[in-house]
């Protein structure tokens, strides 16, 4: 249990998708104009990450890894399909995103309109693919660990996008220099948030 | 006084619209407002007119900072002569003078660079020069180690004034506390000058250091003791009065408490934030005390945690910054409490950071708008519910 908490805290704060790896920046910058939309997209990302990372984990361990296919028989002992992992992971992510899109469209059409193109674009959100690839790299021992990691990464991303959305709503009436309005000030905010998050680097868990 | 006024009156035609130096108008206005009182009245929008304007607010904060600053100057001298082993043979004024001469250049650099940029931006963008920097410019030297090179102070001040304040629109618009970002900037850019044992005590000109001299701050000693699993050498009364190595203004808890009283009495600093930060720190230290086990840093009693490092200074002067803290009343409790918890947490479990207060406040500055948003939405929801019941 303690082990899982460690993985969770690490993936939320220390290895934050946005502030440590700068992954998923496009939707992070584009959908962070209002807290509501940011919350919606953030929850969608949490959901997709929590589902895709364990699915990809199973895929990796029972089909793709070197020797993973040995459950089919001894003749598959030496098969290594790892070169397929990118395409397989993307396929899984795309199908889960499709599912999320259908659910969101059915139950909250307002949010669906607000998120616009960025909802289907979750499929190519680098944070999602990054989650699966980091999972592969970290070589987790159990399914529970992989799920915790996916969930934690999603929560970290959610925290980042909701945080910047609240800041951007706050500075709506500030007199930001004209050339910096919009994306420019968003980049500066992201950098300063990154400085604030650096307090967690160096923690040994 | 009258001559000065005449001078201003004489200069006025030159800087007014159509005058030769009209682009200097906000500089003129700033100096005039500094010497007398601004003649301008608000022309548009909704304004609340009150006796307590920005100038007065900032002046009170500066007054509240003075005890800690003066004590900090004395402490710089005290540490210097203590390191030389000459404390008994040096009188009070010599000690103070040494510290004064050490600290003054840092203050001057911070004010000149910061105000220079502020004036420049005011001219270019055509707004008035605000008094906000008077406090920031004093806070920056007070959270620096005494041995910091002056050009670093200049770079950090420039960075924070431009990227934390001016790009957001100047005084009152910033999301983070500029003074703290200046320190964080130096901490990450030049760690060797901002931590370690050689940063905190001025030893220049000392031929022979006293026996047993270390130069480590109590926080650094605590980390060392933690790895060695030895008892932590914190002397509560020394830390409370402030005769310990540390950043210039942060060491003396008692001088900071005087400042806190001034801020609370005049209603400028939020007592809610101070109280909840204190509460958060105590709660987290107690949790560590209970679950700490053999780790000596975790078993350190909470009253020692509160007097070492920047906890007191951050609580009173940094967390209560009216611009970057949470604005809603309930948000202030949450904001302060989380600062206290995070400060002790980072301090104890993160060996890379001797001081967690700076990072804790910056992190909560980041999330203060979110806290406000949640509190406001909660209020809206509750009132909607209430109105439905009545209807």
Query: Could you tell me if B163 and B305 lie in one domain?
Result: no
Chain B residue nearest residue A38, CA to CA: B370
pLDDT digits (tens, 9 = 90+) for B198-256: 677 776 666 666 666 666 777 777 766 666 666 666 677 778 888 888 888 888 889 99
Cα–Cα distance for residue pair B35/B120, rounded to 1 Å:
20
Residue B126 included in any domain: yes
Residue B51 lies in a domain: no
* Cα torsion through A155, A161, A167, A168, rounded to 10: -160
Provide the residue range defining the domain that includes B306: 218-229+248-379
Same domain assignment for residues B61 and B161? yes
- Given a cut of 80, whether residue B127 has pLDDT beyond it is no
Q: Which residues of chain B are within 8 Å of residue A175 when distances are taken between CB atoms?
A: 125, 127, 169-170, 173
Which residues from B are below 8 Å from A195, CB to CB? 181, 184-185, 188, 362
Provide the pLDDT for residue B256: 92
Spatial neighbors of B148 by CB under 8 A, at least 6 apart, are B106, B186, B193, B194, B199
Percent of chain A with pLDDT over 90: 23
- Alpha-carbon distances, residue B81 vs B73, B124, B192 (angstroms): 13, 47, 24
A-chain residue closest to B127, CA distance: A175
Instruction: Give the model confidence (pLDDT) of B327-336 as tens digits.
Output: 899 999 999 9
pLDDT above 80 for A46? yes
Instruction: Decide if A114 contacts A37 (C-beta within 8 A).
Output: yes
Q: What is the pLDDT of residues B24-34, one digit of tens each?
A: 777 777 777 77
Q: CB contact, 8 Å: A162 with chain B?
A: yes
CB A122, CB A48: distance < 8 Å: yes
- Whether the pLDDT of residue A140 is over 70: the answer is yes
Query: How many structural domains is chain B composed of?
Result: 3
Residue B102 lies in a domain: yes
Task: Mark whether B21 and B75 lie in a shared domain.
Answer: no
What is the distance in angstroms between the CA of the first residue and the CA of the last residue of chain A?
14
Residues B63-120 have pLDDT tens digits of: 999 999 999 999 888 888 888 777 777 788 888 898 899 899 999 999 999 999 988 8
- Measured in angstroms, the CA of B84 and the nearest CA of chain A are apart by 35
Where b means 16+ CB within 10 Å and e means fewer, B234-259 reads beeeebbbbbbbbbbbbbbbebbebb
What does each C-alpha distance from A184 to A30, A61, B163, B169 come to in angstroms? Answer: 12, 43, 11, 14
**Which tokens sit at B12?**
């006025």
Q: Does A178 touch chain B (CB under 8 A)?
A: no
Domain boundary, last residue among B176, B193, B210 = B193
- Predicted pLDDT at B272: 92
Cβ atoms of residues A153 and A17 within 8 Å: yes
Q: Are residues B29 and B163 in the same domain?
A: no
- Same-domain status, B274 and B349: yes
Q: How confident is the model at residue B268 (pLDDT cuts 50, 70, 90)?
A: confident
Give the torsion through C-alpha atoms of B212, B218, B222, B225, to 10 deg: 10
Contacts of B185 in chain A (CB under 8 A): 195
CA–CA dist B270, B255 (Å, integer): 18
- Which one of A163-177, B15-29, B189-203 scores highest in mean pLDDT? A163-177
Mutation choice for B interface testing from A195, A201, A202, A205 by most B CBs within 10 A = A195
- pLDDT beyond 90 at B261: yes
Q: What is the mean pLDDT of chain A?
A: 87
Please indicate, yes or no, if residue B98 is contained in any of the structural domains. yes
Where in chain A are the domains? 2-200
- Is any Cβ of chain A less than 8 angstroms from the Cβ of B352? yes
**A151 pLDDT above the threshold of 70:** yes
Global pTM reads 0.86
Confidence band, pLDDT 50/70/90 cuts, at residue A70: confident
pLDDT for residue B391 is more than 60: no
Per-residue confidence at A103, pLDDT binned at 50, 70, 90? Answer: confident
- Which chain B residues have a beta carbon less than 8 Å from that of A180? 167
B138 CA: distance to closest CA in chain A (Å)? 22
Position B227 scores a pLDDT of: 64
- Please state, in angstroms and rounded to a whole number, the distance separating the CA atoms of residues A174 and B324: 14
Measured CA to CA, the distance from residue B75 to residue B248 in angstroms comes to: 8
Cα angle: A25, vertex A28, A33; to 5 degrees: 145
Q: What is the ipTM of this complex?
A: 0.85
Residues B147 and B272 in one domain: no
Q: Which of B164, B353, B367 sits opposite A192 (nearest CB)?
A: B164
Phi-psi region of A195 (alpha: psi -120 to 50; beta: other; left: phi over 0): alpha
Contact A192 B163 (CB under 8 A): yes
What distance in Å separates residue B350's CA from the closest CA in chain A? Answer: 5
In chain A, which residues have their Cβ closer than 8 Å to the Cβ of B356? 199
How does residue B294 score in pLDDT terms, banded at 50, 70 and 90? low
Q: Are residues B96 and B25 in the same domain?
A: no
Q: Does A204 touch chain B (CB under 8 A)?
A: yes
- Residues of chain A contacting residue B181, judged by C-beta atoms under 8 Å apart: 192, 195
| For residues B282-297, average pLDDT | 79
- Both B264 and B355 in one domain: the answer is yes
Q: What is the average per-residue pLDDT within A134-140? A: 88
B43 lies in a domain? no
In a domain, B113, yes or no: yes
Mean pLDDT of chain B: 83
Residues B22 and B91 in one domain: no
- Over the stretch B39-61, which tens digit does the pLDDT of each residue have? 666 666 666 677 777 778 888 89
List all residues of chain B from 109 to 168 with a beta carbon under 8 Å from chain A: 125, 127, 163-164, 166-168
Q: Which of B324, B360, B328, B318 is nearest to B64 (CA)?
A: B318
pLDDT category of residue B263 using cuts at 50, 70 and 90? very high
Most confident of A118-127, B1-10, B64-73: B64-73
| pLDDT greater than 70 at residue A27 | yes
């Amino acid at each position: 249990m303690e082990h899982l908490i460690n993985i969770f805290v690490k993936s939320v704060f220390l290895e934050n998708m946005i502030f440590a790896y700068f992954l998923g920046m496009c939707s992070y910058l584009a959908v962070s104009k209002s807290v509501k939309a940011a919350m919606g997209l953030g929850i969608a990302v949490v959901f997709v990450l929590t589902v895709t990372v364990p699915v990809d984990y199973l895929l990796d361990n029972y089909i793709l890894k070197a020797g993973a296919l040995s459950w089919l028989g001894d003749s598959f002992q030496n098969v290594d399909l790892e070169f397929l992992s990118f395409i397989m992971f993307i396929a899984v992510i795309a199908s889960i995103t499709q599912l999320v899109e259908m659910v969101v469209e059915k139950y909250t059409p307002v949010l669906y309109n607000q998120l616009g193109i960025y909802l289907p674009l979750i499929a190519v959100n680098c944070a999602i693919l990054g989650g699966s690839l980091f999972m592969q790299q970290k070589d987790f021992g159990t399914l529970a660990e992989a799920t915790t990691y996916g969930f934690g990464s999603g929560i970290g991303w959610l925290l980042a996008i909701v945080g910047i959305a609240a800041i951007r709503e706050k500075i709506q009436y500030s007199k930001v220099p004209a050339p910096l309005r919009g994306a420019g000030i968003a980049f500066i905010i992201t950098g300063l948030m990154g400085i604030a998050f650096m307090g967690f680097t160096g923690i040994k868990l | 006084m009258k001559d000065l006024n005449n001078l201003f009156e004489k200069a006025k035609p030159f800087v007014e619209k159509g005058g030769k130096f009209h682009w200097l108008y906000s500089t003129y206005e700033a100096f005039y407002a500094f010497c007398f009182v601004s003649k301008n009245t608000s022309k548009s929008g909704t304004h609340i007119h009150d006796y307590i304007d920005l100038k007065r607010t900032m002046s009170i904060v500066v007054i509240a900072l003075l005890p800690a600053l003066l004590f900090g100057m004395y402490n710089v001298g005290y540490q210097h002569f203590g390191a030389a082993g000459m404390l008994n043979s040096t009188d009070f004024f010599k000690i103070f003078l040494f510290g004064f001469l050490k600290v003054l250049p840092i203050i001057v650099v911070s004010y000149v660079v910061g105000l220079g940029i502020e004036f420049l931006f005011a001219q270019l963008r055509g707004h008035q020069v605000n008094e906000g920097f008077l406090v920031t410019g004093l806070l920056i030297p007070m959270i620096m180690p005494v041995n910091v090179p002056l050009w670093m102070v200049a770079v950090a001040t420039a960075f924070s004034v431009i990227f934390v304040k001016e790009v957001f629109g100047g005084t009152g618009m910033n999301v983070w506390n500029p003074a703290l970002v200046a320190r964080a900037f130096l901490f990450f850019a030049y760690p060797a000058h901002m931590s370690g044992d050689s940063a905190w005590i001025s030893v220049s000109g000392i031929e022979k250091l006293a026996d047993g001299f270390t130069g480590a701050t109590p926080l650094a000693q605590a980390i060392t003791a933690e790895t060695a699993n030895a008892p932590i050498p914190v002397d509560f009364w020394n830390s409370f009065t402030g005769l310990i190595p540390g950043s210039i203004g942060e060491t003396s808890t008692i001088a900071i408490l005087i400042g806190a009283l001034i801020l609370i009495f005049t209603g400028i600093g939020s007592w809610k934030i101070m109280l909840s930060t204190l509460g958060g720190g105590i709660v987290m230290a107690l949790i560590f005390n209970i679950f700490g086990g053999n780790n000596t840093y975790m078993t350190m009693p909470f009253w020692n945690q509160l007097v070492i490092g920047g906890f007191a200074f951050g609580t009173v002067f940094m967390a209560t910054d009216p611009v970057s803290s949470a604005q809603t009343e309930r948000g202030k409790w949450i904001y302060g409490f989380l600062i206290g918890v995070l400060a002790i947490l980072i301090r104890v479990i993160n060996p890379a950071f001797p001081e967690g207060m700076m990072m804790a406040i910056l992190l909560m500055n980041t999330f203060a708008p979110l806290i406000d948003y949640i509190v406001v939405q909660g209020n809206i929801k509750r009132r909607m519910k209430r109105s439905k019941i009545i209807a």
